[in-house]
Amino acid sequence: IKFLKEEHELTNVSYNTWIVPLKPYSLIKNDDGNYVLHLVAREEKTPFINFVQGKYSLFLSVAVEEITGIKCEIIIDTEESIPKPHEHNKLINSKAYINSSKLATANLNEKYKFNTFVVGKNNNIAHAASLAVAESPGEIYNPLFIYGGVGLGKTHLMHSVAHFILEEKNSDARVLYVTSETFTNELIESIRNVNNSTADFRNKYRNIDVLLIDDIQFIIGKESTQEEFFHTFNALTGAKKQVIISSDRPPKDFVTLEERLKSRFESGLSVDIQPPDYETRMAILHKKEELENISIDDAVVQYIAANVKSNIRELEGALNRMVAMGRLGKIDVTLELAQETLKDIINPNVPVLITPEHIAKVVAEHYHISLEDIKSKKKTYDIAYPRQIAMYLCRKMTSVQLKSIGQMLGGRDHSTVIHGYEKIKNDLKYNPDLSATINIITKKLNPQ
Ligand code: ADP
Ligand code: MG
């Protein structure tokens, strides 16, 4: 503000009288997403509150925006008129406040953090490597090269590293995330421009502490871009600055990439992300429900997890669609509705994958008991036996972990599921009626 007061021609006396006695008290985000910064005036200035508000709130709001990039309304309170904590929807502490402007310059998405990233078998190495790099940037794996198919979390992981460094290590670190397309465009622009802007370009990219460059495959093959990137890369890694690269394939698969660049990429650590398995897909959907504070029928969640397999963005998309349906029409999002709505995402030619939830439902219907009962802890024979049949079918027809099956069928552990499975398997040997029943249920499960 001292610097700004010169630019805005605020005299020293005005500055000292009106501005200095104001202390930031809170930054609140309204329901409509706008920020309100509350400042408190010292007691002796109480009579002048309205004056200061009228005369200086615009100046203050401009000053705040120039420094932080955040547009906010300024409200000047007296000690007595400070809003009580419960009147604040969301209090934002100063750390987050500084970060939000930082995030904008670094091009970071606030949602992509380690605490929103679900770790599964498919990505645990990539996750661990990313965290290690975040904890010791520039010191161990440099570059970190993350590769894998579309929508599997590469960008999310890269951003998580950057957030971690800013939040936990050094809030002043100069972090920059760019896609390789942006890098290319800026380079082309700088060459086209006359005013020595190639130097600006180099300055920008060589004076950073952490460079995240996403989808490098778009650079490979573009000779001049590739060359410039190579220099940037050498300058940064030479100065022990962290570089993180993502790509749709491992370095060795870049056929046209020069050997020197290829071996440089391989000199750090390359880690891959594979498509998530069913358990991880379920965990991601549940995480998303938790983060967005939504709740969807578990049969629907299982249906999505069972059928949308190769792209997490699509997995989220399917869930979002179901949520939107529920909100729009105020209708129950049932499995049938999900099947109908998601027809275009879920290939109709592939037979519907059978989920434990679906099995429980069909078995319950077959025995004229309620879904609630089959999923309960009740031990009477008329409920426990169908439940064991459900366990048998779940184990036989799905690849879902026994633990999850047991969880759904009354919060039982995996050994109970094995016991149920063995019981039915054994009964089948002696009981032809049972095997006929199982056949019918199997047909009901998969009418195709
Ligand atoms: P990529 O860069 O590999 O194409 P993204 O990082 O953009 O994929 O991920 C696509 C979407 O899936 C994002 O919304 C991301 O938050 C989400 N996502 C991916 N992996 C995970 C995960 N392990 N846990 C939670 N969300 C994930
Ligand atoms: Mg990406």
Q: Is the CB of 151 under 6 A from ligand 1?
A: yes
Residue type, 35: Y
Residue 371 has pLDDT above 60, yes or no: yes
Lowest-pLDDT range of 56-65, 249-258, 332-341, 342-351: 342-351
Q: Which atom of ligand 1 is nearest to the CA of 312?
A: 12
Lowest-pLDDT range of 68-82, 195-209, 223-237: 68-82
- Give the pair of three-digit tokens for residue 200: 């600006």
Ligand nearest, relative to CA of residue 123: 1
What distance in angstroms lies between residue 56's CA and the mean position of ligand 1's atoms? 44
Q: Is the CB of 177 under 6 A from ligand 1?
A: no
Residue closest via CA to ligand 1's atom 9 equals 153
Residue closest via CA to ligand 1's atom 6 equals 153
**Looking at the whole model, is its pTM more than 0.90?**
no
What distance in angstroms lies between residue 59's CA and the mean position of ligand 2's atoms? 40
Q: Is the CB of 83 under 6 A from ligand 1?
A: no
What distance in angstroms lies between residue 146's CA and the mean position of ligand 2's atoms? 10
Residue type, 45: K
β 144-148/242-247 pair status: parallel
Q: Is the CB of 154 under 6 A from ligand 1?
A: yes
Return the SS3 of 329. helix
Residue 426 or residue 330, greater confidence: 426
What does the pLDDT look like over 286-309, one tens digit per residue? 999 999 888 888 899 999 999 998
CA distance linking residue 306 with residue 357, whole number of Å: 11
Where does 83-163 show beta strands of DSSP type E?
Answer: 91-92, 144-148
What does the pLDDT look like over 203-219, one tens digit per residue? 999 999 999 999 999 88
- Do you know the residue count of the chain? 448
Residue type, 140: I
Q: In sequence order, what are the beta bridge partners of 145?
A: 245, 270
Q: Is the CB of 282 under 6 A from ligand 1?
A: no
Q: Is the CB of 312 under 6 A from ligand 1?
A: yes
What distance in angstroms lies between residue 113's CA and the mean position of ligand 1's atoms? 10
The model's confidence at residue 236, banded by pLDDT at 50, 70 and 90, is very high
Q: Which atom of ligand 1 is nearest to the CA of 287?
A: 25
Residue 67 has pLDDT above 80, yes or no: no
Ligand nearest, relative to CA of residue 149: 1
CA distance linking residue 98 with residue 86, whole number of Å: 23
Ligand nearest, relative to CA of residue 159: 1
- pLDDT for res 93: 37
DSSP label at residue 168: I
Q: Is the CB of 153 under 6 A from ligand 1?
A: yes
- pLDDT for res 352: 59
Mean pLDDT of the chain: 86
Q: Is the CB of 317 under 6 A from ligand 1?
A: no
Q: How many CB atoms lie within 10 A of CB 71?
A: 11
The model's confidence at residue 416, banded by pLDDT at 50, 70 and 90, is very high
* Mean pLDDT of all residues in 357-381: 94
What distance in angstroms lies between residue 313's CA and the mean position of ligand 1's atoms? 6
The model's confidence at residue 345, banded by pLDDT at 50, 70 and 90, is confident
Ligand nearest, relative to CA of residue 214: 2
CA distance linking residue 152 with residue 249, whole number of Å: 13
- pLDDT for res 329: 63
Residue 68 or residue 242, greater confidence: 242
The model's confidence at residue 64, banded by pLDDT at 50, 70 and 90, is confident
In the chain the first and final C-alpha atoms are separated, in Å, by: 71
* Mean pLDDT of all residues in 263-273: 90
Sequence-distant (6+) residues with CB within 8 A of 105 are 69
Residue 365 or residue 6, greater confidence: 365
Residue 94 has pLDDT above 60, yes or no: no
DSSP label at residue 342: T
Where does 138-293 show beta strands of DSSP type E?
Answer: 144-148, 175-179, 210-214, 242-247, 269-273
The model's confidence at residue 87, banded by pLDDT at 50, 70 and 90, is very low
Q: How many CB atoms lie within 10 A of CB 447?
A: 7
**Radius of gyration of the chain measured on its C-alpha atoms:** 29
Q: Is the CB of 284 under 6 A from ligand 1?
A: yes
Q: Is the CB of 160 under 6 A from ligand 1?
A: no
CA distance linking residue 400 with residue 284, whole number of Å: 15
Q: Are 406 and 414 in contact (CB under 8 A)?
A: yes
* Mean pLDDT of all residues in 377-394: 96
Q: Residue 22 — φ and ψ, nearest 5°?
A: -90, 135
The ipTM, to two decimals, is: 0.99
Ligand nearest, relative to CA of residue 157: 1
Q: Which atom of ligand 1 is nearest to the CA of 315?
A: 12
What distance in angstroms lies between residue 213's CA and the mean position of ligand 2's atoms? 10
What does the pLDDT look like over 123-139, one tens digit per residue? 999 999 999 999 999 99
- In angstroms, what CA-CA distances link 425 with 194, 218, 401? 79, 55, 19
Residue 85 has pLDDT above 50, yes or no: no
Helices marked H in 245-311:
259-266, 278-292, 298-307
- pLDDT for res 96: 39
Burial class of 145 by CB neighbour count within 10 A (0 to 12, 13 to 18, 19+): buried
